[in-house]
Amino acid sequence: MTTSDAAQTLERDLRGICGARLQSVVIYGQRAHTRKSHDRDHDHGTHEHAAIRTLAVVDALSASDLRACAALVARWHDSGLATPLIVASHEFERSLDAFPLEFGAIIADHVVVTGADPFEVLSVDAGDIRRACEVQARSHLLHLREGYLETAGRADALSVLIVQSAPAFTALVTSLARLEHAPNDDPAAAARHAERTLDVGPGSISGIVELAGVPEISSAQAEQLFPPYLNVVEKLVAYVDGWNARG
């Protein structure tokens, strides 16, 4: 099923459940590009295994609505849809400052399936993005230090720590790029931007980002990677903490 077909199926299902209360449905993320280009052949190429992420805005959301949607989730998944985000309109705008990174990503990359564009007159405040990015960075630093202590100095455990933390680090690097309005739809580009921004050596950030999705690395590689990895996370925390002075 193509992105367009799946999105239209979702819209029909939600319309059947919510009726006139359904205000908008949008696709966001990588699969939004597929629908923009109307390239049906491309649906079965690069993004074949990427779930179609959607957001629906409704006038009001009841427990019965959720039960009806829950009954359809398995079918939505079978058609390639991720579980949709469903937000009541009265809480939608007030959520932007609570989830600035998440909604900022949707605002930057979405396509309307039905209804008005819910983001047309909305924007995420840069200060909210900075604070969320700082929380993300400080949390990553604390967990990285804690994880290192729990390795008890064992290199094999250190390799597991690095591999398991790489996806969260990639998300952090992407958040920094979003904060600075740099390209953030490609983790490798975001990593290069972070290396230039923090004035660290080429590969010190890209090398960790490249490990996202890698099943394992050697103990020797882990011992070589960890010191510069910890260093760049510390630098990133300091940079984001003082970003307002530069922004």
Residue 135 and residue 231 share a domain = yes
Q: What's the mean pLDDT in 184-200?
A: 94
**Which pLDDT belongs to residue 34?**
53
The encoded tokens of residue 36 equal 């923009």
Please report how the helices 219-241 and 155-179 are oriented relative to each other, as an axis angle in degrees rounded to 10. 30
Nearest by Cα to 50 from 65, 64, 34: 34
Q: What amino acid is encoded at 181 in this protein?
A: H
DSSP state, 144? Answer: H
Is the pLDDT at 169 greater than 70? The verdict is: yes
Q: Each residue of 135-156: b (16+ CB within 10 Å) or e?
A: ebbeebbeebeebbeebeeeee
Domain termination residue (choose one: 88, 115, 142): 115
**Which pLDDT belongs to residue 48?**
47
Rounded to whole angstroms, the Cα distance separating 229 from 180 reads 21
The residue that leads in pLDDT, 105 or 206, is 206
Give the tens place of pLDDT for each residue, 199-247: 999 999 999 999 999 999 999 999 999 999 999 999 999 999 998 745 4
The encoded tokens of residue 121 equal 């007159």
The encoded tokens of residue 100 equal 């600035």
Give the tens place of pLDDT for each residue, 109-124: 899 999 999 988 888 8
DSSP state, 232? Answer: H
**Which pLDDT belongs to residue 38?**
47
Residue 147 and residue 39 share a domain = no
Nearest by Cα to 1 from 37, 31, 36, 33: 31
Q: How many residues does the chain have?
A: 247
**Which pLDDT belongs to residue 154?**
97
User: Is there a domain that residue 121 lies in?
Assistant: no
- The model's confidence at residue 47, banded by pLDDT at 50, 70 and 90, is very low
Residue 82 and residue 13 share a domain = yes
Average pLDDT along the chain = 89
Q: 3-state class of 108 per DSSP?
A: helix
Range of the domain at 75: 3-115
Give the tens place of pLDDT for each residue, 133-158: 999 999 999 999 999 999 999 999 99
User: Is there a domain that residue 175 lies in?
Assistant: yes
28 has which bridge partners? 53, 110
The encoded tokens of residue 216 equal 């394992």
Residue 36 and residue 88 share a domain = yes
Give the tens place of pLDDT for each residue, 68-101: 999 999 999 999 999 999 999 988 888 888 899 8
